[in-house]
Amino acid sequence: MIIGTCRLELALPKNGTLKGKRRVVKSIIDRVRKRYNVAVAEVDCQDRHDLVVLGIACVTNEQRHASQLLAAVVSWIDRNAEGYLIDYYTEVLH
């Protein structure tokens, strides 16, 4: 069993409220789950309206598949999210 994890930070400079942030986060989480069949959750900075930290995880039987899947998710979020990608970190565990 191979577990792929990713911690992703996304800036929302045009967002001014936590309500607006919730709308953006919910949209990202729903679309990523549906498109890539991975687990996604907001894992940090819940009290900041201008920053989103997401945790993403997948379980597979190949290290290459986990790496490719997480790279595809990060790329999709970078292209489609209302904010911009600050940083991300991926790890594949055996």
Decide if 52 contacts 10 (C-beta within 8 A): yes
**Which of these, 37, 44, 38, lies nearest to 8 by C-alpha position?**
44
* pTM of the predicted protein model: 0.91
pLDDT tens, 36-74? 999 999 999 888 889 999 999 999 999 999 999 999 999
Predicted confidence at residue 10, as pLDDT, reads 93
Q: What is the CATH number of domain 2-93?
A: 3.30.70.1120
**Domain ranges (residues) in the chain:** 2-93
Predicted confidence at residue 15, as pLDDT, reads 82
Does 82 score more than 90 pLDDT? Answer: no
> Measured between alpha carbons, how far is 15 from 4 in angstroms, rounded to an integer?
30
Predicted confidence at residue 16, as pLDDT, reads 81
Torsion of CA 40, 45, 46, 51, to 10 degrees: -80
Predicted confidence at residue 18, as pLDDT, reads 87
